[in-house]
Chain A
């Protein structure tokens, strides 16, 4: 937050937790940022309610030592982030302070650091010339930021149309240098640098229109790409009790997904999980560009021990950065773990404000807040005809693992993919524990995707996916029968169906996130394996004893697992594959 103007001052009158009440001597702005003058430091807060000259502020840091009568300065701005080249690789807190620039091991109250680097120079290439007509969001020039060309745009806040009066030539500039001057309709000249600011709670809508998603967003996770696909610009959520694999799944997506930029909001969860990313991403390769993962990643860390009030800010900061990169025509992936912690922060505040509570004491407007957040994702057609996307996947941490709770229910209404993690699957180590029957992707019904799949994956792809899904349901039904009637109380053919469903489970659904090869399955390989599994499922084996069925399928499953652990089409892979064929022909010709 730079260039803040103070519009009024006030005195603190009440303090409960991180809710502080103050009386102001002048105007107040809803959601305006304020600064508490505490022992020589400025502690930041946000006005969340006003009543006459009384302001209720949530404080973004500890209020320890705050006193009645303490001075507070109210600014004329809402919480804003700075946008410009150099965001990638950085680790921010929820208010976009650069955590690496902070001094010391502990986070000291009142410490603030600038999110970008003012000293570094960037090689700039203009994309427009004097006399060109432009408006907010239009690309004026670009600088290389690792693998991508970072666009310098007409600031999103600027209304109306402009003419380019002057633009800097190809050359090296700092982010604060003026690189373009624009003339507005009134003939005034305005300077553009490489940085602009934007209030996080408002969406950036400088695009022509939002389109329905249609293209597969490849994640390398089989149970997602094959069974419950998410699309570029799509939304999904992962509810699950603790330990069911939400974070591991999100990390897998961050590592493998076909995105240009990945933004991770670590919202109210464990610090060690972010440390894992800090530690690993500089060394891991982006499977799509071969560059280091860290180069496409921005982390917003507001872990559970960091200020509760900044949890809300953290998810909005992350979304705003995603929108910024989308405006450059890029595919961004936004991950938030966990959106429930954000909702809980809202609940804590709402309770302190003594607002009328909704279900489970969450604020009444929780649904609306979640819906409007999810609606900021999407596939956007930009003014220049290019497109960019934000694919958003949030986790939800339902109390007691019970999905009938307000955050899950509100999210289910807006997210198009539902990746439900099941306790049973996690308990039996069937990872990822995405329940194959309860989960869904609404995109399988999108005609845009049906067309895409037929064109790009295979003409009968969706039929195959449906076949496998239905088979899993049959497998479950048959399993229930076996459990009720006993192994020999059902026809042997039931055992065959059950074990074929198990094969689908072990070979397609289950995937070891910690195995270098198995963790990431490119779509081509997914298709190959799915077809191979379907081949087995469609084979009539005609067993005469249910014990044989299990023994036989254990061997088949084992060979499929060995294949999954081997480099695709390597000698080893081929070897297991031929063992598999052998095993099958042997059985059906016997």
Chain B
């Protein structure tokens, strides 16, 4: 969104100023229209008679009651073109990488939804080399899935790792409340990893106003739609951290006297988040948008309104946590889920994939029970001991984020562990697969 000022309607009397909004008397203004208040970007969020309320993205600190208000006559937009590759922008689409502005065709952001009958069913697997994803929660292009993670986990590193490994045409990074260090980390990682030609960033760093970040997802996704629709490209969108986005939403809605819902979030949180995440799509002509997001948790609480509403919207979630047994970061097999995995596992991947995945997770669950037994001071049975050893090997050699394997290798490794610690009956997989893949008993 350029600051090109269409000198249309100018006003200079604010009747009311709150922390995130201001109100003035004006006529002929369009709902959701962009405006500038004392040079700051703002958007119409309410019209009541001739009273117009604007949400001021850069905050209202220091606004004068006689501030100049200029209406642009249009909803927020972004100029888009091929020249955006390798570039980083702020929430308003202004370059932050010291290079000149990008010329392009203007597209509205937060535009219309795809007609569901025009969507194609996602079917392409995106391999990441990480078993917590490829084996247990397979990622499919056109999917939307967040990492649920405590703030101390290396979630941005994992995002960058996946983005570099994924075979996609564009990576669009939407950074919300990103520290400057993390912004530079992303920038350097892509420069060094030969990903620079693919990356485009829209970044709101922590030193900027929180309300600004409300524009980031729509900016990133407008760019994603441009490349996926106009150029039929495969676009991976990284949104980090959506919790910061939702917090900004609550600031604005609370300033507008809306009745807060659970956890002081606006009652429309579900719809607000869904509008963003549902931009993930497989288009009929081959282009697609995949969204990999981050939702930081506070104290691991996933019943908080932000992760809760997110989980109801996204196609699964990936829990990032440190496994204390092996002291490595893993994607927790419990509660992590890829809802689209059914479309590819056992179809694009080997036939035994679904059963192997489920059997291993069941054993991992048994191990958790055995561990509880141990902690409660009960004697362990032979089965308990075997299943605990299975779980330890499984975490260290397969699940750990730093292990990089092909999917078939993950399956073979899991079969090896099954054979090493378990009997066929205990694994309980369809016989045709056990006959084919059971490794001869190795001494446990």
Which residues of A does B touch, CB under 8 Å?
13-17, 21, 62-69, 91, 99-100, 102, 104-109, 241-243, 268, 270-272, 274-276, 278-279, 301, 303-306, 308, 341, 344-345, 347-348, 351, 357, 360-361, 397, 399-402, 427-429, 483, 486-488, 514, 546-547, 550-551, 554-555, 557-558, 561-562, 565
Contact = CB atoms under 8 A, between A and B. Distances in A.
Nearest to B28: A67
Nearest to A102: B115
A107 B115 contact: yes
B115 A105 contact: yes
B312 A242 contact: yes
B116 A427 contact: no
B267 A243 contact: no
A64 B31 contact: yes
A221 B67 CA distance: 66
B362 to A, nearest CB: 6
A303 B259 CA distance: 25
B428 A561 contact: yes
Contact of B278 (A14, A63, A305, A397): A305
A243 B311 contact: yes
Contacts of A361: 259-261, 267
Contacts of B361: 429
B112 to A, nearest CB: 4
Interface in B410-425: 423-425
A505 B315 CA distance: 28
B114 A271 contact: yes
Interface string B46-61: 1111100000000000
Contacts of B312: 242, 397
Contacts of B267: 344, 347-348, 351, 361
B111 interface: yes
Given A360-B262, A427-B365, A106 B315 contact: no
Given A270-B315, A271-B114, A399 B262 contact: yes
Contacts of A345: 271
25 contacts: A15-B48, A16-B47, A17-B268, A63-B31, A63-B32, A65-B31, A65-B32, A66-B30, A67-B30, A102-B115, A106-B115, A109-B112, A270-B313, A271-B114, A272-B122, A279-B121, A304-B274, A347-B267, A360-B261, A361-B261, A487-B373, A488-B379, A547-B382, A551-B425, A562-B431
A578 to B, nearest CB: 15
Given A107-B112, A278-B116, A550-B381, 4 more contacts: A106-B112, A399-B305, A400-B308, A486-B373
B337 interface: yes
Contacts of A62: 112
B258 interface: yes
A244 to B, nearest CB: 10
Interface string B61-105: 000000000000001000000000000000000000000000000
Nearest to A68: B47
B15 interface: no
Given A106-B112, A429-B361, A275 B119 contact: yes
Contacts of A399: 262, 303, 305, 308
A69 B361 CA distance: 61
B354 interface: yes
Nearest to A14: B48
B269 to A, nearest CB: 9
A13 B112 CA distance: 25
Contacts of B303: 399-402
Contact of B259 (A308, A351, A402, A554): A351
B29 A306 contact: no
Contacts of B120: 275, 279
A487 B379 contact: yes
B154 interface: no
A212 to B, nearest CB: 35
B275 A305 contact: yes
B430 A562 contact: yes
B33 interface: yes
Contacts of A276: 121
What size tier do the contact residues of chain B reach?
A: 35 or more
Interface in B107-141: 111-122
Count chain A CB atoms within 10 A of each CB in B27, B28, B114, B424 and give the residue with the most: B114
Nearest to B308: A400
B52 to A, nearest CB: 8
Interface in B307-356: 308, 311-313, 315-317, 334-335, 337, 339-340, 342, 354
B358 interface: yes
Nearest to A484: B376
B28 A14 contact: no
B31 A554 contact: no
Interface of B: 27-33, 45-50, 75, 111-122, 142-143, 229, 258-262, 267-268, 270-271, 274-275, 278-279, 281, 283-284, 303-305, 308, 311-313, 315-317, 334-335, 337, 339-340, 342, 354, 358, 361-362, 365, 373, 376, 378-379, 381-383, 423-426, 428, 430-431
B360 to A, nearest CB: 10
Nearest to B271: A308
Those 9 A-B pairs whose CB atoms lie nearest each other, nearest first: A400-B303, A305-B278, A304-B274, A242-B311, A486-B378, A14-B48, A279-B121, A305-B113, A64-B32
A562 B270 CA distance: 42
Given A272-B121, A547-B381, A429 B275 contact: no
A547 B308 contact: no
Contacts of B379: 486-488
A506 B390 CA distance: 22
A308 B113 CA distance: 12
Nearest to B115: A107
Contacts of B111: 106
Contacts of B259: 351, 357, 361
A341 B114 contact: no
A335 B144 CA distance: 25
A305 to B, nearest CB: 3
A242 B334 CA distance: 13
Contacts of B313: 270, 304
A272 B112 contact: no
Nearest to A311: B271
A107 B29 contact: no
B378 A275 contact: no
A557 B429 CA distance: 11
A283 B271 CA distance: 33
B114 A107 contact: yes
A66 B31 contact: yes
B270 A344 contact: yes
B428 A99 contact: no
A106 to B, nearest CB: 4
A250 to B, nearest CB: 14
Contacts of A547: 381-383
Contact of A304 (B27, B270, B373): B270
Contacts of A487: 373, 378-379, 381
A427 B156 CA distance: 26
Given A351-B267, A562-B430, A562-B431, A427 B31 contact: no
B75 A64 contact: yes
Contacts of B308: 242, 399-401
A486 B369 CA distance: 12
A555 B116 contact: no
Contacts of A402: 303
A108 B108 CA distance: 13
A588 to B, nearest CB: 19
A109 B308 CA distance: 30
B354 A100 contact: no
A427 to B, nearest CB: 5
A304 B278 contact: yes
A16 B48 CA distance: 8
Contacts of A546: 381
A397 B268 CA distance: 15
B235 to A, nearest CB: 15
Contact of A554 (B75, B334, B426): B426
Given A64-B32, A271-B114, A427 B334 contact: yes
